[in-house]
Chains A and B, each alone.
Chain A
Amino acid sequence: MSLTQDRPELTAADLQTSRSRRARSHTVRWLFMGAAAVTVLVSALIIWTVASEAWTYISQVELDKLTDIGWFPRRGLFDLSTLLVNTLQISVIAMLVAVPSGFGAAIYLSEYAHPRVRKVMKPTLELLASVPSVVLGVFAISFITPSILTNFFDDINYFNKLAAGIAVGLLVIPLIASIAEDSLRAVPLALREASAGLGARKVTTSIRVVLPAALSGLMAATIVGFSRAIGETMVVTIASGGGDTSLFNLSILESGGTLTSAMAALGLGTDQVAGNNLAFQSLYFLGALLFAITLVLNMLGDVIVRRLRNRY
């Protein structure tokens, strides 16, 4: 095809891509969209199955069974307050462990650490985030309770909420630290310089300027961490709520099941659910409750993070 030969006149057809190339480009678009639709389908299926089975439960359970002496699903006693109180206690203990150390680590990494230290520590935090929760459950019963807590509390139960809470706390530290660090690093350098330029020491700049400026991100970290603690299953199942029943009690030195550990316990017996027929459905009811609580918390955290992002 030599360019020197006289060229035929250009037509619109010449400016079109060949049909097969266009068709291929078009087909893959639908494939990608289909994949995206599958992710929505996953959510829809979760909501549909959980909600419909939970509805079966709610419409059949006698409401006075929802407040009783404890959680005994096989005997038809479904005291929700037992599970909710235990969940709350364990999650709050977890936050008491995770927030100070997570925030501390975040402030250290973003404000103080030498870049070389940060370069090592950030991946370490990621590694920590991948420690399987069963391992922390084992850690709670083989180390936290026998080697540490028994020194402080004589009458602590082998399975107890305190150890479970501490282990869950360890588990969510990396999550909290990483969200907190992101939000601290989003604070513009200019604010730190302004503060330093006025003769503020580093500690003053960190506490009076950087932390307040990152407040919403820190709040989001706490909320998301709390949601994660509420949803944590294996640590609690191993270290505190192993049985499928629990009696209402407020002592954190005693064992007690949570929303999640009660679900795991029910799940372990799905092939042989005996006793009350509603026991199986209560599994979905708890799932629905858990889903709703964590969804609200996560959306809240998300909104706060977004507001932060638009700020500077």
Chain B
Amino acid sequence: MSVLTTPAGIAADAADVLRRRPGADIAGAVFRWLLIGATVFATGFLGVLLAVMIVDGWDVLSGNLWYFLTNGFSQRSAAESGVSQGIIGSLQVALVTGVFAVPIGVATAIYLVEYAQDSRFARIVELNIRNLAGVPSIVYGLLGLAVFVQTIDRFTKGASVIAGGMTLAALVLPIIVITSVEALKAVPDSLREAAYGVGATKWEVLSRQVLPAALSTILTGTVLALARALGEAAPLILVGAATGFLSFGDANMFETFTGPYTALPVQIFNFARLPGADWGVNAAAASVVILVLVLAVNGLAIYLRNRFEKQW
């Protein structure tokens, strides 16, 4: 047991024993730098990604960005093509997604937190939500194709913004439920008890105390979910978002929701698979546009959350 200094020994040479030895913690330093390297790699590639896309898309971004943002796809050449249809389509799809997913998602969360009391049905709903959250996005495309495009086509008019929005609504539903459940659980019980204590019914407690208190967090979750929807391409391809030429004619506002459409990520996909370097420039420029859009929406969500964080 020679390595262990005996207590008697230490008194004599405490100074030497306790000395900081240079190099005693080389392993620690190496480990730490490895971790820093991993962290830089994990987070730093966002910077590389943005830089690469800006450089590759520079011809469009520097020259005719406005034209690019305000004109549609042209079969003739990359230079004449823009992403306006994609941007408008994405916003329309996101709107429909929100209209379907937010009420259902938040209501489900309210049911789970405020009403369910560990019933069998509640457990099924919970398990179901957790599993839905892990289903690959393209599988939602199959659901959309079979149900929203084909089965209820009287309502959606086939491959339309409505069908696309409903598909993405199914996709983000679990995200909204999960974040809303967390928001509601974070509301302290004392608040509920205080409201019951003055004679409010369950609904009154909910609508006047609990929901207002949880609102900002629910909002954050919703914004994050919609950001996710903005970036999705795979399910939209299956439910028929146009990947090529699209002519609107002179459709009115309502008809654009039931007619052919495309979305920004789908357009990027389309640019990327067309042969020729000039389409590649468009793909990169459109990537910058969608990154800015998605990062801005996420930034908004994170800002909202930090702003309203920890009220109690």
Please report A residues at the B interface, Cβ cutoff 8 Å.
17, 21-22, 24-25, 28-29, 31-40, 42-43, 45-46, 49-50, 53, 100-105, 107-109, 112-113, 121, 123-128, 130-139, 141-143, 170, 173-174, 177, 201-204, 206-207, 224, 227-228, 230-234, 237-238, 242, 260, 263-264, 267-268, 270-271, 283-284, 287, 290-291, 294-295, 297-299, 301-302
Contact = CB atoms under 8 A, between A and B. Distances in A.
A113 B40 CA distance: 12
For A33, A121, A228, the residue with the greatest tally of chain B CB atoms inside 10 Å of its CB is A33
A202 B173 contact: no
B111 interface: yes
Interface in B260-290: 265, 268-269, 272-273, 280, 283-284, 287, 290
Given A25-B201, A46-B139, A135 B49 contact: yes
Contact of B302 (A42, A112, A126): A126
B197 interface: no
B14 interface: no
B198 interface: no
A118 to B, nearest CB: 10
Contacts of B177: 39
Nearest to B110: A32
Contacts of B269: 134, 137, 234, 237-238
A105 B233 contact: no
Interface stretch (B28-36, B65-73, B75-83, B249-257): B28-36
B202 to A, nearest CB: 5
B35 A135 contact: no
For B25, B146, B232, the residue with the greatest tally of chain A CB atoms inside 10 Å of its CB is B146
Given A131-B231, A134-B231, A260-B234, A101 B38 contact: yes
A134 B299 contact: no
Contacts of A36: 107-108, 111-112, 116, 121-122, 125
Interface of B: 25, 27-28, 31-32, 34-39, 41-43, 45-46, 48-49, 52-53, 56, 103-105, 107-108, 110-112, 114-116, 121-122, 124-125, 128-143, 145-147, 170, 173-174, 177, 201-204, 206, 224, 227-228, 230-234, 237-238, 240, 243, 265, 268-269, 272-273, 280, 283-284, 287, 290-291, 294-295, 298-299, 302
15 contacts: A21-B203, A28-B206, A36-B107, A36-B116, A102-B42, A112-B32, A125-B42, A130-B224, A131-B49, A134-B290, A137-B272, A142-B52, A206-B31, A227-B134, A298-B134
A142 B237 contact: no
A38 B177 CA distance: 12
A25 B39 CA distance: 50
Contact of B129 (A22, A39, A103, A206): A39
A99 to B, nearest CB: 10
A238 B273 contact: yes
B81 to A, nearest CB: 16
B138 A231 contact: yes
Given A33-B111, A108-B38, A132-B294, A50 B142 contact: yes
B144 to A, nearest CB: 10
Contacts of A270: 145, 238, 240
A227 B139 CA distance: 13
B196 to A, nearest CB: 12
A230 B43 contact: no
A139 to B, nearest CB: 6
Contacts of B36: 108
A207 B202 CA distance: 50
A177 B240 CA distance: 34
Contact of A21 (B53, B107, B204, B231): B204
For A39, A125, A203, the residue with the greatest tally of chain B CB atoms inside 10 Å of its CB is A39
A22 B45 contact: no
Nearest to B294: A130
For B36, B105, B132, B138, the residue with the greatest tally of chain A CB atoms inside 10 Å of its CB is B138
Contact of A290 (B138, B230, B295): B138
A297 B56 CA distance: 38
A281 to B, nearest CB: 11
B98 to A, nearest CB: 15
Contacts of A32: 107-108, 110-111, 114-115
The 7 closest A-B pairs by CB, nearest first: A104-B38, A231-B136, A132-B231, A35-B107, A298-B134, A32-B111, A233-B234
Given A173-B42, A234-B233, A238-B269, A46 B143 contact: yes
A100 B53 contact: no
B143 A108 contact: no
A131 B46 contact: yes
A121 B39 contact: yes
A238 B234 contact: no
A33 B117 CA distance: 12
A128 B46 contact: yes
A49 B147 contact: yes
A113 B39 CA distance: 10
For B49, B134, B142, the residue with the greatest tally of chain A CB atoms inside 10 Å of its CB is B142
Given A25-B201, A234-B233, A132 B46 contact: no
Given A260-B138, A294-B135, A267 B38 contact: no
